[in-house]
């Protein structure tokens, strides 16, 4: 490119940027409106912040764009060159998260990526660097953080109402989601409980051991992961896509009581030697609304940090990576997480 051509390109780029800025005044975009992304689109529209919808399947993008009266696009480039966005959600399949998010961040757009942050820890590190370099927020959809049942347990554990936490168990079961083709149950499902276990303990595990196999799916469709925390604390995470009904339960054993919880019912029961209490919840809240409000508040500068940091999300990916490796080698994997 000659100097003159370069100068002309710069002029065109800044003109394009000006047109983009004039054209619109912020808001949130969404990329990927398949099974899960369409729920995000609905909530963003209810919040009045949905600005644009992108899906490589233009029919999906168009039909939701018409429903919510926003522009629809078939490509990320087309969307970000046309609309000025404060933030964007990435709800595409796991193995696309890295490239799609990087492009957004390089265009100074705050990013919320659906879980897991990325398939490989190396890619997560690159994403964190890109966010820092471009001074944008990068967060990830570990939605159980916004589940009232999880928040109640976190409060009980922080206040040590029932003593010290010793061990946890998580059970997440469902029919196999036929459309997931790029990852198995560890990256798709167990990651939720890996994040919640770290959140509850408030520390990171040093060792991972896992068993996993596949019956119906091309990747693993059942797994049990054991995470070792400190000298003698443990979380056992069992997930499968074999059970024909949806189960999402957990239990937390403390020195002076046990908490049983249900992620779906958003309910906990606390038992100690003399009593059993199930706190009443009068109205169920949609964790998705709380999660998106958190992201929108960060993009508007109302709060400085998102609930789920990119480092925490990267650590979940590193543990998932180790669990998969452990299930293949039969050995425990020792970690040194940041």
Ligand X SMILES: NC(=O)c1ccc[n+]([C@@H]2O[C@H](COP(=O)([O-])OP(=O)(O)OC[C@H]3O[C@@H](n4cnc5c(N)ncnc54)[C@H](O)[C@@H]3O)[C@@H](O)[C@H]2O)c1
Interacting residue ranges for ligand X, rule: CB under 6 A: 31-37, 54-57, 60, 76, 91-94, 96, 100, 114-115, 141, 143, 179, 188
Name which of 46 and 57 has its Cβ closer to ligand X: 57
Q: What are phi and psi of 91, to 5 degrees?
A: -120, 45
Q: What share of the chain is helix, strand, coil (3-state, %, to 5)?
A: 40, 25, 35
Least Å distance, CB 39 to ligand X, is 8
CB-neighbour burial class of residue 190 (10 A; exposed 0-12, middle 13-18, buried 19+): buried
Question: Minimal CB distance to ligand X: which residue?
Answer: 34
What's the Cα-to-Cα distance from 89 to each of 30, 159, 166, 231, 247, rounded to whole Å? 5, 34, 36, 39, 27
Block residue for tokens 């452990």: 326
Least Å distance, CB 246 to ligand X, is 12
Name which of 117 and 270 has its Cβ closer to ligand X: 117
Sign of CA dihedral 259, 188, 85, 286: negative
Least Å distance, CB 210 to ligand X, is 19
Residue 27 corresponds to which tokens in the numbers above?
């808001």
Residue 26 CB neighbours (<10 A): 14
Name which of 172 and 233 has its Cβ closer to ligand X: 172
Least Å distance, CB 218 to ligand X, is 15
Name which of 113 and 270 has its Cβ closer to ligand X: 113
Name which of 89 and 136 has its Cβ closer to ligand X: 89
Task: Give the Cα separation of 30 and 47 in Å (integer).
Answer: 14
Name which of 221 and 270 has its Cβ closer to ligand X: 221
Contact 92, 31 (CB under 8 A): yes
Least Å distance, CB 190 to ligand X, is 12
Least Å distance, CB 199 to ligand X, is 15
């Amino acid at each position: 490119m000659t100097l003159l051509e370069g100068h002309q390109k710069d002029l065109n780029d800044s003109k394009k940027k000006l047109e983009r800025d004039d054209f619109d005044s912020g808001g949130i975009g969404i990329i990927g409106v398949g099974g899960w992304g369409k729920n995000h689109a609905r909530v963003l529209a209810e919040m009045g912040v949905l600005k644009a919808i992108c899906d490589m399947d233009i029919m999906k993008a168009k039909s939701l764009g018409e429903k919510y009266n926003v522009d629809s696009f078939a490509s990320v480039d087309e969307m970000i060159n046309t609309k000025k966005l404060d933030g964007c959600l990435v709800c595409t399949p796991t193995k696309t998260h890295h490239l799609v998010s990087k492009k957004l961040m390089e265009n100074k757009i705050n990013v919320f990526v659906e879980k897991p942050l990325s398939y490989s820890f190396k890619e997560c590190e690159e994403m964190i660097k890109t966010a820092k370099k471009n001074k944008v927020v990068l967060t990830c959809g570990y939605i159980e953080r916004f589940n009232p049942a999880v928040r109640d347990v976190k409060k009980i554990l922080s206040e040590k109402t029932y003593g010290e936490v010793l061990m946890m168990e998580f059970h997440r079961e469902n029919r196999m989601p036929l459309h997931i083709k790029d990852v198995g149950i560890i990256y798709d499902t167990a990651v939720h409980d890996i994040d919640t276990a770290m959140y509850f303990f408030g520390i990171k595990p040093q060792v991972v051991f896992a068993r996993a196999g596949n019956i119906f799916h091309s990747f693993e469709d059942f797994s049990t992961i054991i995470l070792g925390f400190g000298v003698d604390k443990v979380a056992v995470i069992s997930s499968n896509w074999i059970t024909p009904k949806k189960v999402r339960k957990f239990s937390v054993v403390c020195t002076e009581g046990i908490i049983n919880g249900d992620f779906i019912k958003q309910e906990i029961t606390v038992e100690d030697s003399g009593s059993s209490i199930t706190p009443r919840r009068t109205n169920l809240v949609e964790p998705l609304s709380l999660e998106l409000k958190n992201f929108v508040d960060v993009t508007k500068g109302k709060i400085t940090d998102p609930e789920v940091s990119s480092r925490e999300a990267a650590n979940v990916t590193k543990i998932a990576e180790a669990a998969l490796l452990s299930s293949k080698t039969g050995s425990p994997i020792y970690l040194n997480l940041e």
